[in-house]
């Protein structure tokens, strides 16, 4: 009997031990000692119950913790009982293992759900920062103050979180701001130069995580916020600089237009003075020479007079500006054609052959775009002058 109780006590945990009747031994060697109705051990309910050896229906009870009802005949051999106990023990181990796995799954599920909620908060924070900077593109103070109010709700413990932004000597704080030893901060850079900081504080001590009480994801978040603020500040500074340069350029353009207008007025004044001097001094002398010159010399005098008039008129300058491919000789021939000289007269004045002058005329028509057109060159030059 002691052997059986030893096996029971050591093979199974205390909450699954079986209790055998004390008033009858179990033995394979004495079958005569067994009753026709063997004693039955009943384990479970509110305690241990055993049949009275006298054969009546009275039971003695000793109370134990709640257990599953098991009916074990006392006629079982030690080896059979041991096998059953081992099987029960294996079943219990499997049940406990399943329970442990289920508990681990629930814990992992809770951890993942918590992590997802934190990531959603971080994404909302980045979206809010971008929207704040875009909405207040021309008012950096309003954008920084809005970000200072936005940051605390994006951290793991928003109820005890506060934030502060420092930018170019100005401070922007959350409504509950206060300093504490539990701080997470990062610098703001504009074009490689530090212009401020972003700082997040926990007002109470919290469990240690990746960086003090802060998560590594929160470090990545605060770095991303500082980077976006730096980019926005740099963009705003560039915009202001561009506006200053644009204003300076507009002022320079106004000044340049005024200068050009004055230069043009001076040119017109000089042109009028030259034209007046030519009309008053040189033209009368040429007319006097023409009156006493021979007929063949009068043409040269008339050409000199026309040339002087062209010098003080815009014809030559306009022709050379618009048709830059014309050579100096071709411009002179154009002026002679416009003044009514024939090919032979031009050849005599230039000491060239008429064939050379004709080639010049062909080149001039080509450069003026008159090829294959029934337009007289002299008429075209007069029309161009009038325009």
Q: Distance between CA atoms of 346 and 332, rounded to whole angstroms?
A: 10
For residue 293, count CB atoms less than 10 angstroms from its CB and return exposed for 0-12, middle for 13-18, buried for 19 or more. middle
Where among 76, 101, 136 does a domain terminate? 76
* Residues of the domain holding 32: 2-76
For residues 340 and 222, membership in a common domain is answered with no
Does residue 104 sit within a domain? no
For residues 231 and 277, membership in a common domain is answered with no
Does residue 256 sit within a domain? no
Does residue 346 sit within a domain? yes
Residue 266, pLDDT above cutoff 70: yes
pLDDT band at residue 103, thresholds of 50, 70 and 90?
Answer: confident
Amino acid 57: pLDDT: 45
Segment 83-93 shows an average pLDDT of 87
Which helix (H) or strand (E) element contains residue 198? strand 193-202
Cα dihedral value 58, 60, 64, 68, nearest 10? -30
Highest mean pLDDT among 21-35, 53-67, 331-345: 331-345
Q: Tell how many helices (H) and how many strands (E) occur in the chain.
A: 11, 6
pTM for this one?
A: 0.45
Does residue 66 sit within a domain? yes
Amino acid 36: pLDDT: 45
For residues 188 and 133, membership in a common domain is answered with yes
SS3 251: helix
Where among 58, 76, 94 does a domain terminate? 76
User: How many distinct structural domains can be found in the chain?
Assistant: 3
Amino acid 170: pLDDT: 92
* CATH code, domain with 132: 3.30.450.40
Residue pLDDT, tens place only, 289-331 = 877 888 778 777 887 877 776 666 666 667 777 788 888 788 8
For residues 228 and 121, membership in a common domain is answered with yes
Transcribe 5-29 into DSSP letters: HHHHHHHS-GGG-----SSS---SS
Closest alpha carbon to 194 in 162, 164, 233: 233
């Amino acid at each position: 009997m002691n052997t059986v109780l030893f096996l029971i006590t050591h093979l199974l945990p205390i909450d699954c031990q079986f209790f055998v009747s004390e008033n009858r031994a179990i033995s394979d060697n004495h079958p005569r000692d067994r009753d026709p109705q063997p004693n039955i051990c009943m384990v479970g309910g509110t305690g241990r119950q055993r049949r009275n050896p006298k054969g009546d229906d009275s039971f003695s009870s000793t109370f134990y913790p709640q257990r599953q009802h098991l009916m074990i005949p006392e006629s079982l051999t030690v080896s059979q009982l041991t096998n059953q106990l081992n099987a029960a023990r294996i079943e219990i181990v499997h049940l406990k293992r399943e329970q442990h796995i289920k508990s681990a799954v629930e814990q992992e599920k809770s951890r993942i759900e918590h992590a997802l909620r934190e990531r959603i908060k971080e994404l909302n924070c980045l979206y809010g920062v971008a929207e704040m900077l875009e909405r207040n593109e021309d008012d950096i103070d309003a954008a920084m103050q809005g970000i200072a109010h936005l940051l605390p709700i994006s951290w793991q413990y928003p109820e005890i979180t506060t934030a502060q932004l420092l930018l170019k000597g100005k401070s922007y704080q959350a409504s509950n701001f206060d300093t504490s030893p539990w701080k997470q901060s990062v610098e703001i850079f504009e074009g490689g130069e530090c212009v401020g900081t972003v700082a997040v504080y926990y007002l109470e001590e919290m469990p240690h995580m990746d960086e003090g009480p802060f998560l590594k994801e929160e470090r990545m978040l605060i770095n991303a916020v500082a980077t976006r603020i730096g980019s926005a500040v740099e963009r705003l500074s560039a915009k202001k600089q561009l506006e200053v340069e644009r204003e300076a350029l507009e002022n320079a353009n106004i000044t340049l237009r005024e200068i050009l207008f004055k230069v043009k007025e001076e040119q017109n004044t000089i042109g009028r003075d030259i034209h007046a001097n030519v009309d008053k001094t040189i033209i009368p002398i040429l007319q006097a020479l023409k009156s006493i010159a021979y007929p063949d010399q009068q043409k040269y005098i008339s050409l000199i007079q026309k040339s002087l008039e062209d010098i003080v008129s815009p014809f030559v300058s306009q022709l050379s500006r618009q048709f830059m491919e014309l050579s100096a000789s071709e411009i002179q021939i154009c002026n002679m054609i416009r003044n009514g000289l024939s090919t032979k007269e031009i050849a005599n004045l230039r000491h060239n052959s008429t064939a050379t002058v004709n080639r010049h005329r062909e080149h001039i028509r080509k450069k003026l775009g008159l090829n294959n057109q029934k337009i007289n060159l002299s008429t075209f030059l007069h029309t161009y002058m009038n325009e």
